[in-house]
């Protein structure tokens, strides 16, 4: 398994593959975004401060009859322009 599996099997780019786990009958891929920079999800300002990480789960199409998920580590940000918290925009497509 590698980053290319996510790209070729699911057409997901912008995610670096970390590992795979099997939970019940489901296949769970774990990864992180490869964005070179992050911005505010509301105003797209790059004047932000990082405020930790959060894992978010995405449902993927089934593979071999098994449910598949992508667990992605995403960064929480604080926008200094809007004075609000949010989740950094995802660079994956």
Q: Footprint of Zn ion on this chain (CB under 5 A)?
A: 40, 42-43, 45, 79, 81-82
Using the minimum distance from each CB to Zn ion, give the nearer residue, 12 or 40.
40
C-beta nearest to Zn ion: residue? 40
Sign for the pseudo-dihedral over CA of 92, 58, 5, 22: positive
DSSP state for residue 50 in the 8-state scheme: E
Closer CB to Zn ion, 40 or 70, in the complex: 40
Cβ pair 46, 39 in contact under 8 A: yes
Extract the tokens encoding 62: 């089934």
Closest to Zn ion by CB, 19 vs 81, is: 81
Positive or negative: CA dihedral 38, 41, 44, 49: negative
| Nearest distance in Å: CB 37, Zn ion | 14
Nearest approach in angstroms of CB 88 to Zn ion is 11
């Amino acid at each position: 398994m590698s980053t290319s599996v996510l790209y070729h099997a699911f057409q997901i780019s912008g995610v670096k593959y970390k590992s795979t786990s099997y939970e019940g009958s489901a296949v769970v891929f774990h990864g992180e975004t490869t964005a070179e920079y992050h911005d505010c999800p509301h105003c797209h300002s790059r004047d932000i401060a990082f405020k930790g990480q959060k894992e978010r789960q995405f449902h993927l199409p089934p593979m071999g009859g098994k449910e598949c998920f992508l667990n992605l580590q995403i960064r929480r940000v604080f926008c200094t322009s809007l004075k609000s918290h949010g989740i950094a925009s995802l660079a994956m497509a």
